[in-house]
Structure 1
Amino acid sequence: MADIRSQDIGRLFSPKSIAFVGGSIAEMSIRRCVEMGYQGEIWPVHPKRETLAGYKCYASIADLPSAPDAAYIGINRELSITVVGQLASIGAGGCVCYAAGFGEVGEEGQDYQDQLIAAAGNMPLVGPNCFGFVNFMERCALWPYLFGGDPVAKGPALISQSGNIAMNLTMNQRSVNFTYVIATGNQAVMGAGDYIDALLLDERVTAIGMYVEGFDDIEKFSKAALKAMAKGVPIVVLKVGKTEASARQTSSHTSSLAGSDTLYDALFTRLGVIRVDSLNRLLETLKLLDTSPPLRGNNIFSLSCSGGEAAMISDLVPEHHLEMLPFSPAQIDQLRGQLPNYVTISNPFDYNTSIWGDQAAQTDVFTAAMSGNHDAAFLIYDHPTVNGEEVAKEVAEWIMTLDAFIAAHKATGIPAFVVCTISELLPKELRSYLISHGVVPLQGFDDALFAYSAALKHYQSKQQQITLPRFPEVHIGADVDSQVIDEYYSKIALKEFGLTIPAGGVGTKSQLAEIADKAGYPVVLKAVGPEFLHKSDMGAVILKLNNAEDVADAADSIIASTTAAGVPATQFLVESMVAGSLAELIIGINRDDQFGPALIIGAGGILVELVADSVSLLLPTSRSAVKDAINSLSVAKLIGGFRGQKKGDLEAAIDAVMAVAHYAEANWNKLLELDINPLMILPEGSGVVAADALIIQSK
C-alpha cells in the first residue's frame, strides 16, 4: 500500500471543493451532496455535457479552477486510471474510485489495480469497487445511492468493505447516527489502519464500527487499534468468514485446532477490540459506547412489572458474564415499606403493577432500587404500538414509567439503561428522549446484554498493558521444503528452553536394556524417526514395560509392525512411564500466513479430537495470558481439583507453555508446526512432563 499520512486523508474526508467525474453516477452523487446541504465548491467534469445536476461542467481535470480537495470518479476502469493519474499530478486531496473490474475479478483485474495504485502514487484513494463515503458533519457525500442518517455534531464512524451493508446500516432504527460512513471496497491504496488513523484525528468521532472481510495489513491495523485504545476511541468489528476455507491437512493435531479466525479473536482480545457477530450487535454496541458513561462493573439489576421479563433476563445474564446480586438489607426494608406485601423484593425486580400509573410512587421505588451498590440499572420497557385518542391516557402511563426511571437515574447517578424485549417496541422519539436525559435505550434483550458486557470488557482492557503481537518477518508458502524433527530431538530442543521431558534415551535394539535400566521401570518403547508421526496407528509404541525382557519383546513387535507398514524401525526411544497424571494438555504452534507462529493450548490426549477445546494466543505472550487461557478450558476443572480431587500443578503447566512460546520466538522464521501432546499434569508441586513432541520446520 502507498505511504499516505492520515492528515492527507483528512483533507479528502472534509473537502471544501469536490470534483465529480462522469455521467449518471457522478450526477447522483452531486444530488446527495445538495440534499445534505453541502456548502463547498462542486465541480462536475464531463467532456461533452455543459451541466451536471445544474452545475457547470468542466471538460477535463486540467480545466478545473484548482486542485480539488476530493474527487468522485464514476467512470469505467480504464478511464479511471487515467483520471486518477491526472488528479495526483495536480495535487488533489484524494479521490473515490467507483468502478469495478479490478482486483476482485482475478488476475486480469489485478493488473488494472496495479496500474491504478501506480497512478495514485501517494494520493489517498478510496476503493476501487466501492460506493465511497459520507461525512454527516460537513454534509458531503461522495456516494451515489440513497442513505439514511441525520447531520450530527459527534458520534461513531463506520468503515465497511461492503457498500451495501454500509448503506443499510445508515438506515438503522436504533438511534445510531454516524459521523462518517466509509465503504472501502478493494482497499487498493488505503487499508483499515489508514482509515482508523485518519478518523482518530477527528475529536468528534467517539467510536469506530467496522464490517470486515479481511485485512491486507494486520500489523498496520494493530498499530492503529493501539492508538485508538490510547485515545479512548473503542473499535467494534463484525468480521465475517469464520470458517477456515484455507485449512490444510497436516501431520499434527494442533493444526486441527487452529485457523485464522481464531487468531483474529486472539488479536482483537489482545488489542481491546470488541468483536460482534451480527449487525444488530454492532449497532447496539456502538450506541452504548457513544451514549453511556464508562461502565463500572458486571453487577446489574433489572426493573420490570412482569415476572416473565424478569425470568428472561435472569436466564440471559450469566451467558454474558454478568451477575445480578441481591439488594442490600437497607434497600429491602425501604422497598418493603413502599410496596404491598405480596411483592417479592429480589433481583431481577418485578415491582408488579401495584404502582402502575403512579409516577411519584414509581420514582420512589426506582430511586430506592438504584441507591445500592449495583453497577447499572436496567428498566425493561416495551412501548405499546396501539394508537388513537381512546387509548392515549393508557399509553401516557407507560411514559410515566420512563419519567420515573429518568428521575431516579438523575437522583442516584447510576448508569441507566432502558431495554425492550424486541427491537420494534422502542420508537425513535422515545429513544431520543431517553438519550437527551442521559439514559441509554437498548433494543432486544440478548443484544442489549451483549453490548453491555462487550463494552465493559473494553473498559477493563484499558486498565491493562496492551502490546503489539509479533508478525511474520518472512512469508513461507504452502510449497515450502519442510523438515520433520523426530520426537526425541524435538524434546531435546524444547528441553533447552525449560520443558520437562521423561528420563530415557535413544538407541538400537541391542542398547535398549541398558537405557531402560537407567530410565527406571516401567518404561515405554517407541520407534523414532521422521517417518513415525502417528506411532499408535503403525504399532510403533508399546507402554508399561516392566523389565528388559519386556523391552526386547516390544522391540521385536514394533519391528514386525513397522516392517509390514514398509518402514522398518531401527532406532528406538525408551522413556520412563509417567504416573499420577491428573489432566492432560496439548501445546502447539501453528504457522499462519498473516500472523506467523501462533500458540495453541487445549485439552490434550484423546480429548483433542473428542472435545476440540482450545485457546489461541499470539506471540509474544505473558504468564497471566497463558494462565487465563488454561483456566478457560474445560480441563481446568481437573487441574483445579475437581470434586475434592488433588490439584494439578498449574504453575508448572504455565512454565511449559512459556517454554514453547520462547522456543517459537527463537525460531520465528523457520518454525512451521510444533506439537506437544500430551503434556501430563502432575499433582501440585510435582511438575509436568511432555510425553510426546513433534517439530516441523522449513529447511
Structure 2
Amino acid sequence: MADLSRLLRPRSIAVIGGGAWCANVIRECRRMGFDGPVWPVHPTRAEVGGVPAFARIEDLPQAPDAVYIGINRAATVEAVRVLSAAGAGGAICFASGFAEAQAELADGVDMQTALLAAAGDMPVLGPNCYGMLNALDRVALWPDQHGLVPVARGVAILSQSSNVALNLTMQRRGLPIGFLGTVGNQAQVDLSALGMALLEDPRITALGLYIEGIADIRGFEALAARARALGKRIVALKLGASDQAGAAAVSHTASLTGSDAGARAFLQRIGVAQVSSLSALLECLKILHVAGPLASNRLVSASCSGGEASLMADTGLGYDICFPPLGAAQREALRAALGPKVALANPLDYHTYIWGDVPAMAACFAGLTQGEDLGAGVVVLDFPRADRCSVVDWEPVIEAVAQARGPVPLAVLSSLVETLPEDLAARLVALGVVPLCDLPAALEALAAAAFLGRTVDPAPVLLAREEGALPPSPSGRLPREYLDREEAGQVVQEAEAKQALAACGLIVPRSARAGTPDEAAAAAARIGFPVVLKGEGFAHKSEAGAVKLNLVSAEEVRAAAEAMGARGYLVEDMVGGAVAELLVGVMRDPAHGFVLTLGAGGVWTEILGDTQVRLLPVTAADVSDALAGLRIAPLLAGYRGAPGADETAVVEAVLAVQAFVAAHAGEIEELEINPLIVTPDRAVAADALIRLKTDQQEGEGDAA
C-alpha cells in the first residue's frame, strides 16, 4: 500500500486551477486553521483566492505534500505526471470523466489508465471526488463549505458519495469527526486502503463507512482485521445493488437474496456492523467514540415517564436488543433510591419523586446498571428548547448520570433529534456519557455496537476466481449431458442434480425415472407407497402443477402422470413426519464469493421471505446461528410441545451442499434445495436445482 501520510497530514499544499472550486479550497484551508503554505498554480492568473499564484507546477518552491487538482481531465493527467516526477506526496483529483463515466465516454477507461500510469507510486484520491477534511491537523482539501471544526480526537468517516459526505459534516449531534474523506471512483486508493491508513492514527477512535460497492474483498478483510487488532471498530451504511449476482437466475434463492446480499453477508462475516440510515451511522459512531463496542445487547433503561418507558420497550422490538428483567441486586438498589411507590421494571419509569435530587438519581442510575452481562444503561431525557425555555431543572439529571458512571457505559437518549442541543451533546461526550438522539436510530445503533462487541474470527470468503482458493474436484465435471436445455441457463435435471449432491453426503429420497405413465406406475410399485410424482422439464414444478404428493396406488400414479403430460417423470419415496420445510440456496456472486441463503422453504418461501444470508465457507456454528435467526426458529425447536427438527441433520445437509459447491466452484452459477424436509431424525432434499455457468461465462473465467 502506498504511503498516504504526506497526503493525509500535509505541511504544504498546492492547488491547481483557477475556478471557484479551487478558490474554495484555499478559503477552507485558512478557515480550518491550516498554518502551512498554500500555493495556487495557474498559467495566466496572478492570484487565486487572494493568494499569489505560480504559473507552473515546476515553479513551486518545493514538492508539495498534498495537491488539489481542479482542472479538466486531460490536464489532470498531465499535472499528475509532473507532480509524481517532482516527488509530491499525493493528489486529489476533482475532475470526472474517467472510468466512472465509461457508459457515456468511450475513452473513460483509457483516461483512467493514463492517470494511473502518470501517478506511478504517488497516491491519488479519486478521480471524481470532493477530497478530504482532516480536523485533527486542520487540513481542508475540500471545494465547498463544510461543518467540521478542529478536534483533538474523533471518528473517521469515509464515503463513496461526495454529497453524502458533505451532508454528514453538517450534523449537530455532538459527534467529534476527526477525518472525513471521499474516494470517488477509487482508481488507485479505495475505501479499505484509506481506512487502513487512518486506523493507524491513535487520535482516530472508530471508522464509519458509506458504501455503494466493494471492489477489493481481501482489502476489506485486512481492514476489518486491523481495526480489531487496534481495538477499534467499523460501522457501515451499505447501499446500492450489484446487478451481477442475480443475472438470469431461475431459483427462489435469487429473488429472495437480492443483488447486494453478498456484500451485506460479507460485511457481517468480517465483523463490520451495518445500519440502515445515516442517523444510525452517526449514533453508532458516538457510542464507539465514547464507550467503544458494547459487551452485550442487554440494556437497562430509565425515564421519568411511563410513556417513554413504553416507547423504549416497543421500539426495541425492531432491533437485536433486549431489556432483561431486573435482578435482586438491581431491585434492592432501586427500592432504596426510589422508595416504595415506584413499580420496578426494565425499562424503568422512576417517576418524578426524585427529580432534582442528584444523590437519589445517581443511586437510581447506578443501581440499574448492577445487572449481569449488561451492554449499556440508557437514561431517557429530552431537553427543552433553549430559545424559549430554561434547561436549569434538567441540569441535576446530567450531574447524576455523570456521578453514576461505572463499568457499564451510560447514555443519555433524547427521543427526538431536536431535543438534544449540540452544546449539551458535546458536554456529555466530555463527561464520558454517550449522547444519543432519535429513538429508532439510537436503538439500532446500540444493537450495532453490541454486534461489534462479539468475538469475530472470520475465515476468508470462498472466491472461485482466486487461483488455489478451492480444493480440486473429487468427482470431475458435472454431467452436462443431463442439462435441461429448455430452461434458462444450463440447468441440471433434478434426478442428476440429486445424485451429484448425494455423492457429497446430502440425503435424498429413493427415486426412479420413468418415460411413460405405465412406467411411472411400475416404478412406484417397486419403491413402495406412498410416493411423489414429478413431471420433468419445469424449474418450478409446483407452480406448473407438475408435482403430486402422497399417491398411494399404481392407479393414482398412472392417472396423475397422464394428467401432467410431461416428457418424463420422476417417482420418489414420500417423506413423512415433516417438522418444517427449509430452503438451502447458494449463488455465485462474482464480487463477494458464494452466497448461502437459509430460509423457510416449500410453499412458504416467497410468502414469508424468512431468510438468513451467509458467505461460504460456513462452520456448523454459523449454520446453527443462521437457523436461530429465522422467524420459524420456534417451529424448528418444537412449538407448543410438538416434536422439534433434527438440527444436527440440517447442519450436516448444509455442510454437504457447501462441500459440493467447493468441489465444483468453477462450474456452478446457482444451487437450490427447496424443500429440504426436516423431520425429528433427518433432513431430506426433496427437490434440487443446479444451474451451471454458461459457455460464455466459462470462457470469461472466474474473474469478477
Correspondence 1:117-132 to 2 at 5 A:
117-132=116-131
Number of the residue aligned with 2:599: 602
Question: Judging changes above 3 Å, is the alpha-carbon distance between structure 1 residues 97 and 521 closer, same or farther for their aligned structure 2 residues?
Answer: same
User: Identity over aligned residues, as a percent?
Assistant: 41
1:486 to 493, 496, 514: 493
1:503 to 501, 510, 526: 510
Correspondence 1:72-151 to 2 at 5 A:
72-105=68-101, 106=103, 107-108=105-106, 109-151=108-150
Counterpart Cα distance in 1 of 2:233 and 2:336: 43
What amino acid is the match of 2:417? S
Counterpart Cα distance in 2 of 1:557 and 1:363: 77
Please state if 1:71 is matched with 2:78: no
Number of the residue aligned with 1:9: 4
SS at structure 2 position matched to 1:130:
coil
SS at structure 2 position matched to 1:156:
strand
Please tell me whether the aligned partners of residues 283 and 445 of structure 2 are also in contact (alpha carbons under 8 angstroms): yes
Question: Judging changes above 3 Å, is the alpha-carbon distance between structure 1 residues 615 and 507 closer, same or farther for their aligned structure 2 residues?
Answer: same
What amino acid is the match of 1:649? D
1:541 to partner: Cα distance: 4.0
Task: Render the CA deviation track for 1:83-126: whole Å, top value 9, x for unaligned.
Answer: 11211222222101111233333233344333323322332111
Please tell me whether the aligned partners of residues 248 and 489 of structure 2 are also in contact (alpha carbons under 8 angstroms): no
1:556 to partner: Cα distance: 4.1
Deviates more, 1:667-676 or 1:515-524: 515-524
Counterpart Cα distance in 2 of 1:125 and 1:408: 48
Question: Judging changes above 3 Å, is the alpha-carbon distance between structure 1 residues 30 and 343 closer, same or farther for their aligned structure 2 residues?
Answer: same
Please tell me whether the aligned partners of residues 191 and 215 of structure 1 are also in contact (alpha carbons under 8 angstroms): no
Correspondence 1:212-611 to 2 at 5 A:
212-241=211-240, 247-248=246-247, 250-373=249-372, 374-387=374-387, 395-409=391-405, 412-460=406-454, 463-473=455-465, 482-509=489-516, 512=520, 515-528=523-536, 531-536=537-542, 540-558=546-564, 561-562=565-566, 569=567, 571-611=568-608
Counterpart Cα distance in 2 of 1:339 and 1:516: 74
What is the RMSD of the two structures over their aligned residues, measured on CA atoms?
2.6
Counterpart Cα distance in 1 of 2:375 and 2:181: 35
Counterpart Cα distance in 2 of 1:499 and 1:575: 16
Task: Render the CA deviation track for 1:11-65: whole Å, top value 9, x for unaligned.
Answer: 2111122221111322221221122221323222111123333433222122223
1:22 to 7, 17, 22: 17
Task: Render the CA deviation track for 1:445-489: whole Å, top value 9, x for unaligned.
Answer: 2222221121011111xx2322221224089xxxx9953211111
SS at structure 1 position matched to 2:95:
coil
Counterpart Cα distance in 2 of 1:545 and 1:201: 67
Please tell me whether the aligned partners of residues 598 and 617 of structure 1 are also in contact (alpha carbons under 8 angstroms): yes
Question: Judging changes above 3 Å, is the alpha-carbon distance between structure 1 residues 254 and 362 closer, same or farther for their aligned structure 2 residues?
Answer: closer
Counterpart Cα distance in 2 of 1:612 and 1:253: 10
User: What is the TM-score when the length of structure 2 is the normalising length?
Assistant: 0.89
Task: Render the CA deviation track for 1:120-173: whole Å, top value 9, x for unaligned.
Answer: 233211111111111112211111211112212222111112222212211211
Deviates more, 1:603-612 or 1:331-340: 331-340
What amino acid is the match of 1:671? I
* Unmatched 5+ stretches in structure 2: 468-486, 696-704
User: What is the TM-score when the length of structure 1 is the normalising length?
Assistant: 0.90
Please tell me whether the aligned partners of residues 534 and 546 of structure 2 are also in contact (alpha carbons under 8 angstroms): yes
Please state if 1:666 is matched with 2:663: yes
Please tell me whether the aligned partners of residues 170 and 177 of structure 1 are also in contact (alpha carbons under 8 angstroms): no
What amino acid is the match of 1:376? A
SS at structure 2 position matched to 1:641:
helix
SS at structure 2 position matched to 1:199:
helix
SS at structure 2 position matched to 1:47:
coil
Q: Number of paired residues?
A: 669
What amino acid is the match of 1:516? A
Question: Judging changes above 3 Å, is the alpha-carbon distance between structure 1 residues 533 and 452 closer, same or farther for their aligned structure 2 residues?
Answer: closer
1:655 to partner: Cα distance: 0.9
Number of the residue aligned with 2:701: none
What amino acid is the match of 2:275? V
1:547 to partner: Cα distance: 4.1
What amino acid is the match of 1:377? G
Task: Render the CA deviation track for 1:629-669: whole Å, top value 9, x for unaligned.
Answer: 12222332222111111111111111111111111111112
Question: Judging changes above 3 Å, is the alpha-carbon distance between structure 1 residues 332 and 208 closer, same or farther for their aligned structure 2 residues?
Answer: closer
1:339 to partner: Cα distance: 3.8
Counterpart Cα distance in 2 of 1:243 and 1:120: 29
Question: Judging changes above 3 Å, is the alpha-carbon distance between structure 1 residues 638 and 303 closer, same or farther for their aligned structure 2 residues?
Answer: closer
Please tell me whether the aligned partners of residues 250 and 488 of structure 2 are also in contact (alpha carbons under 8 angstroms): no
1:229 to partner: Cα distance: 2.6
Counterpart Cα distance in 2 of 1:610 and 1:371: 44
Counterpart Cα distance in 2 of 1:311 and 1:297: 22
Number of the residue aligned with 2:481: none
